[in-house]
Amino acid sequence: MKLRNDLRNIAIIAHVDHGKTTLVDQLLKQSGTFRDNEIVDERAMDNNDLERERGITILAKNTAVNYKDTRINIMDTPGHADFGGEVERILKMVDGVLLVVDAYEGCMPQTRFVLKKALEQKLTPVVVLNKIDRDAARPEEVVDEVLDLFIELGADESQLEFPVVYASAIMGTASEDPAKQDDDMTCLFETIVNAVPAPQDNSEEPFQFQVTMLDYNDYLGRIGVGRVFRGTIRTGDQAALIKADGSVKKFRVTKLFGFLGLKRLEIEEAKAGDLIAIAGIEDIMVGDTICPVDAQEPLEPVRIDEPTLQMTFLVNNSPFAGREGDYVTSRKLEERLKTQLETDVSLRVENTNSPDVWKVSGRGELHLSILIENMRREGYELQVSKPEVIIKEVDGVMCEPVERAQVDVPEEYTGAIMESLGERKGEMMDMVNKGDGQVRMDFIVPSRGLIGYTTEFMAQTKGYGILNHTFDGYRPVAEGQVGGRRQGVLVSMETGKSTPYGMLGVEERGILFLEPGTEIYEGMIVGEHNRDNDLTVNITKLKQQTNIRSATKESTVTMKRPKILTLEEALEYLNEDEYCEVTPQSIRLRKKILNKSMREREEKKKKLAAKA
């Protein structure tokens, strides 16, 4: 079998924040891909605003470097399980993976998730222990943890013989010795070239290419990115696009692109093993196969994990609708959601009985909140309901998604965490005292029990705890109440502006969510009640002015700092009878029914119906 020894295709996989993107930066710099005088940002691969702000990779990206006589194609993948759809597709394009693990934190929930996907695809692993320069690094123990994880996930013998490279991505160094770092990353480059198999060279056979990612360009339209599995393709060739439903469309290849560094370079031909982009066809989709017109052989479709969480998206109908957004109509919202479907294969959008309402399903809260955040930044106004898990039938039993949660907390908080996750139907799987006053606990928890749990967790651990969780599978639905908000809310009875005087009057009733001078409307949620029932309040009250001077001078009153909710916190906070209104400048919580007497009437109806 002929091999293309001048080429290697690898994906970099890891848990969030273990240093994948920083490692790619160093590989790009040290391979001589950039000119000496070229200015390159840190985390160059994270090129959209949200990725830079949050320090996470959301979209998979590809780049390539030249090392000696070898072209190394590198795929940088997201670490969050919510973007698992991205990871799964990328792994189909490569022959090996760099598994990056933090030399102090060790294996985390998403390490398990991404490694499981790689082992299922029978890819060759190279383990990179990153952050070896940290004072608390424990390389020997972490290598043992990684080996245990490989065994637990059913790795075969060849995969268990993985090479280990000890690296510091931030310093740009790597070595095979945990005690001493070399001056650069030559050791890692050599390990990639020697350990990762070269792609098969079957470029004489009929052409076969599968679309794994989609890109868009104003001049070229949609661009399909993927791997050439066999054969050769040239610009100007006639080709056939085979869709998932078996239909075939003929087209001419107008442009081909290869990758080097952060640039997409126009090329004339590509052959087996190359990762390329093809332009020239409008309705190209992920999973489609491109092949010659006279040799139509589709590749196996790309299998994507199903969504686990759904929300209702609605046109904004609040009293403040249309004030801040450029796009507020149902037509514009529907167009935007359909556009998202073209590049996001893990998303589902369903129409409902109402033309202003859509059911949107995704892989988790982060997946959906990133979509909402992008929409508001683009000028859209919308409302969304509380996230709900998707229940499905497995072998005649109703099952719900469950997550593997890993908790790192100081010892004194273990009791409180065990109790709170126990109430949410969490089952403890493991508990390890790490010896430095820190305890690591593993739980299996229903996904609905973790919706809204982060805020409670941070309060219980006074901000010292770390919670990571990732989708684990489906289990029979847990009986009884699981999670949910315990407190009631403070609801405005008036429309107007919040005043310091009005806010001071209700401060002792709970925690306020807004600053003085904020515009509010009747039915808008302005804070959290101390008790478990909702309370209607008036925080627009002005102090009555009189011309009588007080005998005792008024003392200065200090207001408590309000709790301003982020988008994720607002989505987690919602109850079934509430919406989150999202506009380019504001995030507001509101009751579905704004009028107090109508809400009470509806509540009575529900109680009567429940009795009947």
Q: Quote the Cα angle for 112-114-118, to 5°.
A: 110
Is residue 132 part of an annotated ligand binding site? yes
Is residue 233 part of an annotated ligand binding site? no
Which phi and psi (to 5°) does residue 336 adopt? -65, -40
Is residue 17 part of an annotated ligand binding site? yes
The amino acid at residue 313 is: F
Residue 556, both tokens: 């200065």
Residue 413, both tokens: 């908080």
Report which DSSP code applies to 187: H
Is residue 246 part of an annotated ligand binding site? no
Distance of CA 306 to the CA centre of its chain: 15
Is residue 271 part of an annotated ligand binding site? no
Alpha-carbon gap, residue 608 to 292, rounded angstroms: 67
Is residue 19 part of an annotated ligand binding site? yes
Residue identified by tokens 């589902």 is 348
Is residue 70 part of an annotated ligand binding site? no
Bridge partners for 61 per DSSP: 76
Alpha-carbon gap, residue 535 to 160, rounded angstroms: 60
Burial of 241 per CB tally in 10 Å (0-12, 13-18, 19+): buried
Question: By three-state DSSP, how is residue 350 classified?
Answer: strand
Sign of CA dihedral 316, 318, 319, 325: negative
Is residue 218 part of an annotated ligand binding site? no
Nearest 10 degrees: Cα torsion 434, 436, 438, 440: -10
Is residue 543 part of an annotated ligand binding site? no
Q: Cβ–Cβ contacts within 10 Å for residue 6, how many?
A: 14
The full length of the chain comes to 612
Is residue 520 part of an annotated ligand binding site? no
- Rounded CA Rg of the chain: 27
Alpha-carbon gap, residue 106 to 137, rounded angstroms: 9
Alpha-carbon gap, residue 167 to 161, rounded angstroms: 19
Annotated binding-site residue numbers: 17-22, 130-133
- The binding site for GTP comprises 17-22, 130-133
